[in-house]
Structure formats: structure tokens, C-alpha cells
Amino acid sequence: MNFSRWLFAGVGMAFLVAGCGGRQGSSRVDLSKMGPSLNDKRYANLEKLAAQDLKCAEELKPTYLGENQYQMSGCGTEGVYELHCRMGQCSWIPDVRARAEFDLGCPRAQLTTTNIDKFTVGVAGCSKRATYRKLGSTYNVTWVLNSQVSQDAAPVAAPTSDSTPL
């Protein structure tokens, strides 16, 4: 081997040892407690998606909910994201409340979700409700309104004991 090959190999090895190649560790989050499918790259993508979705520039706090679902919290709000993997390729499914916030005209903090089946979620808030369905391919899954936005009926006030019949 000539000198230039040795030099090239030595510089390459120095980059690997210095951390400029290979896997980079995230010191902020212990990924070993965050489910079997999460790695540094997927977590970085989740942080980016959640920061944009939640309109939050500060550091977000992750919580593993199980079954590849993660809650990201920060700036007084939170979102739930699902990691969808097929044949080793993964993508993030955004929080349905981001779409429902617009459709229902209701702040995310007032929206509640109910899983109806594997692909369908009901969202309620601000006396309105709607149903959403996951739609798309493995790498581009989104939520689509699957019902009309309905207005919840106002509860009928019960008569009080203070009222006297006429």
C-alpha cells in the first residue's frame, strides 16, 4: 500500500472514532425505554414533526405510550404520534387532532379522541364531533374526515326545586 492509501484510511478511521460517521447518540433521551422500533434517526424525525405540528421551538418531552405510539409535550400542548413500519421502512402518522383542530374550529387542548377501530378515530370537542380515517400508503399516511362535523345537542336543563308551577 502506498502512503496516500494509508493516509486516506487513517483519516477515515479518525472520522469514525470522532463520531463523524456511524450512529450518533441522543444524550437527551434514553431510547432503550422508548419501544423497540425507535432509533436516533426516527426520534430526530419525530422531534421535527412534533415541533412543527405543535408550533413549539423549545425542547419537547417524549413519553412512550406503547404499541409504537409516542406523546410529545411542550409549550403548553401535546401531540400523539404513531410510528408505522413495514418491511423495515418507517414513517410517522401525525396526531389526528392537528386535522380536527381545523375541521371542528376547536383548540387542540379541548379535543378528545376515541379509537373506533384500527383505522378510524372519533374526535370530539367544543360541542362538535367528527370521525377520521387513516388513509395513504406506508410512507404517506394522513387523516381524512370520514363523516360530517356534527353539533352535539345542548343538554336540556332540568327543572330546579326553586321553581314554582304556574
Mean pLDDT of the chain: 81
For residue 147, the model assigns a pLDDT of 93
Q: Which of 3-7, 27-31, 59-63 has the lowest mean pLDDT?
A: 3-7
Q: Please give the model's pTM, rounded to 2 decimal places.
A: 0.70
pLDDT of residue 127: 96
Write the single-letter amino acid at 69. Answer: Q
Sheet holding 89-93, edge to edge: 61-66, 69-74, 77-86, 89-93
Task: Dihedral sign for Cα 148, 133, 97, 65, please.
Answer: positive
Burial class (CB in 10 A: 0-12, 13-18, 19+), 71: middle
Average pLDDT of span 37-42: 90
Q: What mean pLDDT do residues 27-39 have?
A: 82
Q: Which of 13-17, 27-31, 55-59, 135-139: highest mean pLDDT?
A: 55-59
Residue with cell 396526531: 95
Q: pLDDT, tens digit, for every residue of 121-163?
A: 999 999 999 999 999 877 788 999 999 999 987 665 555 555 5
Average pLDDT over residues 63-77: 93
No. of helices (H) and no. of strands (E), the chain = 3, 9
C-beta atoms surrounding 90 within 10 Å: 18
* 78-93 tens-digit pLDDT: 999 999 888 878 889 9
Give residue 11's pLDDT: 45
**Which range has the worst mean pLDDT, 1-5, 22-26, 131-135?**
22-26
Helices (H), the chain: 3-18, 40-54, 96-104
Q: At which residue does the C-alpha cell 431510547 appear?
A: 31
Q: In the beta sheet, which residues pair with residue 123? A: 113, 130
**CB–CB of 155/133 below 8 Å?**
no
Return the DSSP state at 139: T
Assign 142 to helix, strand or coil: strand
pLDDT at residue number 92: 92
3-state secondary structure (DSSP) of residue 57: coil
